[in-house]
Amino acid sequence: MIKPLTEPLPSNGLLYFMDGQFLFRYKERGGAEISKYLTMDDVAAAFVQVEQDSGWMPAGVLRVGTSQQGRWYVYSAPAQKVTITVPPAERLTIPIPRTVMLGIGTKFYIWALKETHFNPNAKAYHAPFSNVHADGLICWGRAKTAEVDAKHARRIWDDFFYANFNNDLSNKKSVKHPANVLEMLRSLHDENKRKYPVADLVETRETIGQAIDRKVRN
């Protein structure tokens, strides 16, 4: 007869998931094999006892977690100036709005905000750059991206802007230049603008919090 667990889990056992139930098996000192059913609370309590520490997170990292897709994090960078490259050798120094990057599993997403500070209830806008799909997914081309790790969030964000910005996925990112957002970026460079004109951003149908939660829970 298999009995429910009434004492702390021994450390030398195996946990099985069978037909929606948890079964724990271990050997007593005398060699007898014991099997006991566990409740969800038993299993949760056992994992809570394992100490975990993420260490100090880099500035800009807002959330970290794990899902069925793997580890994930949310990173946000303030509005600033960056220099991008448009093939074959065009260099544009441009202002950009506040950006939000989600790294999850093996994928990275990026959006823009009009707000100065991050707010999960703020409207999410399409990032005003080429190489980004309509849902925010970054296309890295042939470049190999690093494993999702919140400790490297800033480096991945930098890598996005170090990559070449070609004409791929460049439409529907600018109110003034809907056919190609690169034309908007060229005008900002030519006019030496200090701030990105956020009125030109194209909105999505979600808040930034909703956009992130949908990706994490997919």
Identify which of 43, 51, 37, 47 has the alpha carbon closest to the alpha carbon of residue 3. Answer: 37
Specify the pLDDT at position 11.
56
pTM of the model: 0.77
Specify the pLDDT at position 1.
45
Specify the pLDDT at position 100.
99
Q: Confidence band (pLDDT; 50, 70, 90) for 51?
A: low
Contacts 24+ apart (CB under 8 A), 181-184: 181/128, 181/129, 181/130, 182/86, 182/130, 184/128
The mean per-residue pLDDT over the stretch 44-49 comes to 62
Strands (E) in the chain, as ranges, are: 3-4, 14-18, 21-27, 33-38, 61-67, 70-77, 80-86, 90-96, 98-104, 107-113, 123-126, 203-207
What CA dihedral angle connects 60, 66, 72 and 73, to 10 degrees?
Answer: -10
Q: Confidence band (pLDDT; 50, 70, 90) for 49?
A: low
pLDDT tens-digit map of 174-202: 999 999 999 999 999 999 999 999 999 99
Measured CA to CA, the distance from residue 48 to residue 7 in angstroms comes to: 16
Measured CA to CA, the distance from residue 87 to residue 163 in angstroms comes to: 10
The mean per-residue pLDDT over the stretch 61-71 comes to 91
The mean per-residue pLDDT over the stretch 24-37 comes to 73
Specify the pLDDT at position 7.
53
